[in-house]
Structure 1
Amino acid sequence: MLVSGDRAPALGLLDQDGHKVSLSSYKGRRVLLYFYPKA
């Protein structure tokens, strides 16, 4: 489990349009990840 201030692991996901997005694309920026069940 990560706690505030930990480095995030490498992560790649598909966005709502099906394009791959890497967490590394946001290096140096604050990012909030929100996961929810697919309807």
Structure 2
Amino acid sequence: MNQLQSEDRAPAFSAVDQNGDTVSLKDFKGRKCFVFFYPKANTSG
């Protein structure tokens, strides 16, 4: 898989939010959205 670069369009995805609800990128269509991943959250690394 190629790494995303700044200004790249995000691929379609779904994830669980802090409330346990599943959200998808398509839920934010037409709105600006910022997604932040914690790459080492809940890991020993």
TM, length-normalised to structure 1: 0.69
Partner of 2:42: 38
Identify unmatched segments of 5+ residues in structure 1: none
TM, length-normalised to structure 2: 0.63
Identify unmatched segments of 5+ residues in structure 2: none
Q: Considering Cα pairs closer than 8 Å and 6+ residues apart, tell me whether 1 or 2 has the greater RCO.
A: 1
Alignment of 1:1-39 (within 5 A): 1-36=3-38, 37-38=41-42
